[in-house]
């Protein structure tokens, strides 16, 4: 059974703080890892699709790294802003490429 774990479950930071979350996934039969941001009442928004060991991707103040050999990915947010408040989901693509297996998410709250 494929299991994707995310930590912490929730996080509360002050505006301007930098933060990071962890996603761990099965290291065997790796195909791709996806990160999404999901704000309440909106559609989950794709942040990154990561496929190569050692990959590092960046989008504005958000970046992510990937280690497929040990089965983890980190998401970093530099200088958090209130608009970064959301649930951040990571998902592991199954071997058939037909389904995303999601973690439970990390819910970030940023206070101004």
Partner 1 sequence: GAGVSQTPSNKVTEKGKYVELRCDPISGHTALYWYRQSLGQGPEFLIYFQGTGAADDSGLPNDRFFAVRPEGSVSTLKIQRTERGDSAVYLCASSLRGQGSEQYFGPGTRLTVT
| Binding track, positions 24-43, relative to partner 1; x by CB under 8 A | -------xx-x-x----xxx
45 or 56: CB nearest partner 1: 45
Reduce the secondary structure of the chain to three states and give it as a string.
Answer: CCCCEEECCEEEEECCCCEEEEEECCCCCCCCEEEEEECCCCCCEEEEEECCCCCEEEECCEEEEEECCCCEEEEEECCCCHHHCEEEEEEEECCCCCCEEECCCEEEEEEC
Assess 22 for contact with partner 1 (CB under 8 A).
Answer: no
Nearest distance in Å: CB 51, partner 1: 8
| Binding track, positions 77-96, relative to partner 1; x by CB under 8 A | ------------x-x-xx-x
* Binding residues vs partner 1 (CB under 8 A): 4, 6, 31-32, 34, 36, 41-46, 49, 89, 91, 93-94, 96-105
């Amino acid at each position: 059974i494929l299991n994707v774990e995310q930590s912490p479950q929730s996080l509360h930071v002050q505006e301007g703080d930098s933060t990071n979350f962890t996603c761990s996934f099965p290291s065997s039969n790796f195909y791709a890892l996806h990160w999404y941001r999901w704000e309440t009442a909106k559609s989950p928004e794709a942040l990154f699709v990561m496929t190569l060991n050692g990959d590092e991707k960046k989008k504005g103040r958000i970046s992510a790294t990937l280690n497929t050999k040990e089965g983890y990915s980190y998401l970093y947010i530099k200088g958090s802003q209130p608009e970064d408040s959301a649930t951040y989901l990571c998902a592991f693509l199954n071997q058939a490429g037909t389904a995303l297996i999601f973690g439970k998410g990390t819910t970030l709250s940023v206070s101004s």
